[in-house]
Amino acid sequence: MQIVNVQAINLDKLQIPTHSCMPDLSGNQNETWAVIDHNRLISICSLWLKNAPAFKDYNTSVLGNFFTQDRQAGKELLLHAVARAKMLGSEYVIGPMNGSTWSKYRLVTEAGTSPPFLMEYYTPAEWPEIFVSAGFEEIATYYSASTEQIVYEDRSATKFIAKQRELGVTIRPFNKAQATSDLTAIHALSLQSFSKNFLYTDISLADFLAVYEKILPYVVPEFFLLAEHRGKLVGFIFAIPDFLKKQMGKEVDSLIIKTVAKIPDRTYAGLGNYLVYTIHQRAAEKGFKEIIHALMYDSNVSRSISNKSAQTIRKYTLYGKQS
């Protein structure tokens, strides 16, 4: 086995694993390294050294596009990548993360018994141990939660109903006919709402639209709600049925809440609670039996909202290592 720079070889001549976690290598990574054995790709990862998220006072880089079918090969590749990052001026490597938090990142560290759901990056059970064996440490934890208690009481949501009428805040479904217009407003609000999030970096409108372009065929407008005040978007919630169940021959009876956001203004305190509450009500009316609150950072407000009705089903971890 040998570690090679992917840019220096012809990938078409290699046997590439067919696996749901095998990365798409057409992205904007700085450089990509792979472990090759007799024309078989065993392990692979990429480094991003520009526009990496801030972490403490380090000059950071990001390691992503990670994939391995062999523990030792995966460990050696991680050690090689960290050494390369140090050589290129990085003091701290964060991973796995495909460039930023707008792309796939983290590893499943407590799988639980629930099956993977739509758009979940569900990684192999042995990968966390590979990162730890290579000297990476946990820097953040994330959770997904589930509830069959579709209808629940939320005083914050109820209080916002009165405020909604007073302010004149309106709630409408996402409009697929004007998807670019709606997504442009959502992009601008997201940059405001998430700017204080852990490891946040900006995303261009073009890249943001490209992310949602892949999702639009699955969007059900009545579960993608936009809150507007005086013609301006002030909040939104994006939920989507778990169509992965259909591929498995099962009834699509689960709804996944992917994103909740509002502008950081006390005027709209309670709006996030109200949007989640509203989605739960609509899910109940449509006969959904389960709501999944997906991929929440442990310290975010969304986690406290979720705790009102849901229980943790999965834990994810993001790692870092001083280089």
Please determine, for residue 139, whether its predicted confidence score (pLDDT) is greater than 90.
yes
How does pLDDT run across 85-130, given as a tens digit for each residue?
999 999 999 999 999 999 999 999 999 999 999 999 999 999 999 9
pLDDT score, position 306: 62
How does pLDDT run across 54-88, given as a tens digit for each residue?
999 999 999 999 999 999 999 999 999 999 999 99
Does domain 149-288 fall into CATH 3.40.630.30?
Answer: yes
Tokens representing 255 are 């709804």
Domain at 10-142: CATH architecture:
3-Layer(aba) Sandwich (3.40)
Across-strand partners of 48? Answer: 62
Tokens representing 61 are 């880089």
pLDDT score, position 24: 86
Asked whether the CA dihedral 78, 81, 86, 92 is positive or negative, the reply is negative
pLDDT score, position 9: 84
pLDDT score, position 298: 65
What SS3 class is residue 68?
A: strand
How does pLDDT run across 276-316, given as a tens digit for each residue?
999 999 999 999 999 999 998 865 555 555 666 679 999 99
Q: By percentage, how much of the chain surpasses pLDDT 70? A: 95
Q: 128: which DSSP letter?
A: H
Tokens representing 162 are 């009165």
Q: Do domains 10-142 and 149-288 have the same CATH topology?
A: yes
Domain regions of the chain by residue span: 10-142, 149-288
